Structure 1
C-alpha cells in the first residue's frame, strides 16, 4: 500500500508554462494556423506532460498484462479460457496483433503474468502471478482488497522499471478471456449505467448471449455492492488482475511525467480505476482509438477524453495504442523538424 500511496502523491499537474512555449511555436510554424488540427494540441499536451517544450517519444513500450477471470464460469465468453495461457507466450514470440504494430512503431512489448490460470513455461514472460485467476465475481468479490492493491503495485513496479531503462512513451495492453465482462462491470459501477447499456460481444460472443452477460454483471454488482467512490473497492469486487496492473501502469507513468497511451475498452476501464484513485492521472492519459466494443465510447466520455482515431478495432492487447504511437511521435517531429515563419525568413 505504501508504494501505491507514494505514487499517487507524486502525481503533479501539467506544466502550463512549457505548454505556452510549445503553443507559441506551434502557432508560428510554417503552416496556416490550426492546419494540423489535433496534432497541434497533442504536441502541446506532450510538452505539458514532460516539462519539455520539445518533447520526445522515441523510446516506446507496450506493457501487456495477462490474467484470467473466475466469471468465465458463467458462460460470458465464446472462447476457452486456456487461450489466455496459449496467447500470452505469443507476445514474447512477437507474433500477435500488437506485436506486429509494435514492430512497425519500433516499440518494445513487455509481457507480465499477473494471474493466468495455469503455470506458464514461457521464458520472457515476467512472472508476477498473484494467483491463478480471480474468483467468480457473480458469487463474491473477484479478489481481496490486498490483492487489488498488489495488482496496482505490480503495474507501478513494472512501469517504473521501464522508465528507468529510458522509456519515454508507454502503452497499455492486456490479455484475459472474459475481461470485457469485468470492464463492463467497472463501467457500470463508476458510470451508473445499467449493464445492458455497456456490454458488448468481446471476442465474438453471439448477440443472443448479451442479455445473459448483462444479467451476470447485474448479479455481480448486487452481490458485491462495490463502492463507486472507492476505486480499490471497485477493482477488488468486479475487476481483474490485469486491469489493476494497467491502472498501476497509468499511475506510475503519471508520477514520472511520461505520457501513457490508453488502448481500447479494457484499458479504458483500467483508466477509470486509475482516475478514481488519482484524478490528476487524467492529464497524463492519451486516448488512442474508438473501440468497436459497445461500452467503449461511454467509458471514454466518462473520462472526459476524445479518441484519436476510429478504425473499428476491438482486439485489445494494446494494438490500438501501438498504432497511436505513430501519431504521438509525429507530433514531436512536427515541433522539432518544422521551422517557424521567422526561422524561414517569412514576414506576413
Structure 2
C-alpha cells in the first residue's frame, strides 16, 4: 500500500473524507486498477451517501481482487442502502438479495472474521431479524470482545425484535469492553428513552457527542425529542391535577339567581297555606262548591338548574404510550476503516 493510501486511511479516521478522496484519486491517476485505492474510494463515497457510486467502486476493486473482503463488505452495505431506498416490490427484493450475496462473498473469503458476519447480520436484519441474531451470536463465538458486534446485536434486538431489556444488556456489555465507545453510548441513550430513563438518556447523549462530535446532529435530534416528550408529560400531569369545577362552562353556577327562586318558592307556599285556611273557614256557606274550597294546584316552575343535573368535565388523563411518530432514529453502524 502506497504512502498516499496510508494517508487516506488516516484522513478517513479524522472524518476528512474529501481529503481522503483526493489521496486515492492521486493513486488512481497513475494506477487506475489499484484495488486498495478503488476500495477506499468505495468507502468514502459510501460514507458520503453516494451508494450507487460506492457499489461501482467496490465492484471495480473486486474485479481486480475477488478475495478482497473489505470491498465485499462495502458493496454489500451500499447495495443494502439502495434496497432500503427502493419502492417495495420486485426491484427492492432483488437489491436485498444482491446485498445478501455480496455479504456472503465477504463471509466466504473470511469465515473466521467476526466483522464479515456482522455485515451479513446488518444485511439480514431488515428481512430476517431472527437469522441476523443467529449470525451475530456466531460472530461473538469468533470474537467475544468485538464491541461492534455487541452494538449490532443490540440494534437488532431493539429495532427489529423490540427487546429493550436484551438491547440494554448487549450495550452494557459493549461499554464494559470499551467505556468510550460513542456508538454504544448513543444507542444505550436511545434505549434509555424507550425504558423511560430520561436523565440517564440525556447524560449519555451528551457524552456520546463529546466523544464523537460527528454525532452532534443526531444527538441534538434526540435531545429535542426528549425535551418535547417531557413537556407533553408535564402538560398532561398539570391537566389532571387542576381542580374540576362543580358546573361546566355551559351551566355556570348562579347562587344569586338560585336564592331568588328559593324565595319565590317560599312565597308561593305561604300563599297556598293562607288560601287553604281561608277556604276552611268558609266551608259552611252554601255558595261554595266542593271545587271552590279545593283550588286547582299551582304549577311551580322548577329552575332549569334544578331540572337539568350539572355536567362535569372529564379530565384528559396522560397517555401511557408516548408519541413515537418522530422518535429519534438509530445511529448508523458503518464500516470500521480497517485497511487490509
TM-score tier (shorter):
under 0.3
Q: TM-score, normalised by structure 1?
A: 0.25
- Higher strand residue share: 1
- Higher helix residue share: 2
Q: TM-score, normalised by structure 2?
A: 0.26
Q: Which has the larger radius of gyration?
A: 2
By relative contact order (CA 8 Å, sep 6+), the higher-ranking structure is 1
